[in-house]
Amino acid sequence: MGYSIAKHLHMAAVVVTVALFALRGLWMIAGSPLLQRRWVRIVPHVNDTVLLAAALYLAVTVSGWQDWIGAKVAALLVYIALGTIALKRGRTRQVRIAAWLGALAVLGYIVAVAYAKRPWPFA
C-alpha cells in the first residue's frame, strides 16, 4: 500500500469514525432504540480496525515514530475510555453525555495534532 492510499484511507476512516460516534451519541441522548441495531454495533469496530491499520502502516513504514504520533496514541486511549463510558458504561444519562462531549473534544485534539504534526497543536 502506498503512502497516498494509506493516508486517504486513514482520513476517510477518521471521518466515518467521527460521524458514527457523533450519531451514536445523539441516539444515546435521545434514548433511541437505533443504538441496538446490529450494524450500529458492528460497523464502528470494522471501521476503527481499518483506521488503526492505516495509522500503524503510516507510523511504521512512512513517518517513523514521532512525538506527535505518541500524543495521538495517548489521546486515542482517552477517547476509547470516554467513548466506552458514553455509550456503554456510564451509570447516568448525565455522565454518558459528559463523557460523550469529552470524547468529542479529544477527537478534536487528535485531528488538530494530525494537522499540526506536533503534540501541542494550539500553542
Q: Would 77 be classed as within a structural domain?
A: yes
32 falls within a domain: yes
What pLDDT score does 58 carry?
Answer: 87
Residue 122 belongs to a domain: no
Per-residue pLDDT at 61 = 81
pLDDT of residue 63: 62
Instruction: Encode the chain (123 residues) as per-residue pLDDT tens digits.
Output: 688 898 999 999 999 999 999 999 999 999 999 999 999 999 999 999 999 999 888 888 866 678 898 899 999 999 999 999 999 999 999 999 999 999 999 999 999 999 999 999 988
The per-residue pLDDT for 64 is 67
Residue 111 domain-assigned (yes or no)? yes
CA angle 105, 110, 111 (to 5 degrees): 95
| Among the listed residues 57, 82, 72, the one whose alpha carbon sits nearest the alpha carbon of residue 1 | 57
Count: domains in the chain: 1
Residues 51, 13 contacting (CB under 8 angstroms): yes
For 104, what's the count of Cα atoms within 13 Å in the CB-facing half-sphere?
A: 16
Q: Are 111 and 105 in contact (CB under 8 A)?
A: no
Residue-number span of the structural domain to which 85 is assigned: 3-116
The verdict on residue 121 lying in a domain is no
Task: Decide if 123 is inside a domain.
Answer: no
pLDDT at 39: 96
Q: Domain for residue 59, yes or no?
A: yes
Domain-located, residue 100: yes
pLDDT of residue 59: 83
